[in-house]
Amino acid sequence: MLPKWLILLLITLGFAFNAHADSSITLKPHATHTPGQPIVLADVATLSGPEAKQYADMVIIPASAADQPNLMVLPQDIRAALSSQFRVPWARLTLSGRACKVGVQNRPASQTRVQRKYTRGFQNTLQADQIITQNTLRADIARQIASTLAIKPQDLRLSFRTRDAALLAKATASRRVEVRMLGSSQRTPLAITIYKNDSIVLKENLDVEIQVRKKVFTPIAEIKKGSLINQSDLHEQAIWLKAHQSPAILEQIVGSIARTRLKIAAPILADHIEPPIIVKRGDLVRIHCLQGSVIVKAQARALQAGRKDERIQFQSLTSRKTFYARMTSLGHAVMAENNQSNRHITIENPS
């Protein structure tokens, strides 16, 4: 019979092992993918636990290399892809499986047409820091977009139309190049002007798809619409986003309400959240009325629900007159005398 101390040690080690093995990535023996699409982690592996599921959409093999016949994904491919993009907590994450053989699945003709329409004419994505050392128009565009967006070249990716290849390869040494971004969308139009001495030698328009690597916060578990978001619900990481996408910062997210369902590992954007309602219709609120150098305070009844920094309508408890004030915090609102909608209102019963 084993000594009690040894049994206790084995039990402790067993618990410790299980605590670190809650999340796992297990390679599937076989998988299929859609032609022209990148292979992501969820395509080739079974993911268990929050530490693994947050990487579900991470690209393992880009679309340009994904259609090769007899393609095999090995554990070292996954480990290298993860480690190059994230700080992976390997102590809490296990990686297992020998290899995954990836085949190409057939798609309906209608789906094929939609995909071709979307990707028609655009080259593979280029990393800006790999082209800015060239003396070409492509490099000038990369440098000026990075400067305009105030980001480092290594955090910028560009994709141009195939038909613009010759134009982008033009040498620009001893010339001045002006690049103007004419909008901010998934495909950004550019106005290009090239000067030589006191002459304009080229004026051209072209389109570019811009991706920017940004720090974002993602849910570690699905957050339902209307739920309050806490800091413990979030995981921080750097991912590639379209230039027009605006991720919410931590101060905006914590304490806010999910405007829509937030999926695991999906970046939380500014339009995904909204401030919580801090006053309901019928609540009594302390109004701070700024009248010149005098501050008058009194209670009034809210006639509508409101969030922080929203102007909502109130009713005086004595005169029954209505007025507008801005909610500043729970139970407090401010009314300024220079607000035109309140120019005939006086707050009674100061306290």
Report d(CA 125, CA 64) in Å as an integer.
Answer: 10
Q: What is the pLDDT of residue 35?
A: 74
Tokens for 10, please give them.
Answer: 């084995």
Residues (pLDDT < 50) of the chain are 6, 9-21, 107-119, 341-351
Sheet architecture: strand order including 71-73: 30-33, 100-104, 71-73
* 339-348 residue pLDDT tens: 554 444 444 4
Q: What is the pLDDT of residue 318?
A: 87
Q: Tell me the torsion sign for CA atoms 253, 258, 263, 267.
A: negative
Report d(CA 20, CA 7) in Å as an integer.
Answer: 20
- The structural domains of the chain, ordered by start, are 19-103 (2.60.480), 126-212 (no CATH), 217-274 (3.90.1210.10), 278-342 (2.30.30.760)
Q: Are 300 and 347 in contact (CB under 8 A)?
A: yes
Q: What is the pLDDT of residue 119?
A: 44
Q: What is the pLDDT of residue 49?
A: 83
* Segment holding 254, helix H or strand E: none
pTM of this prediction? 0.51
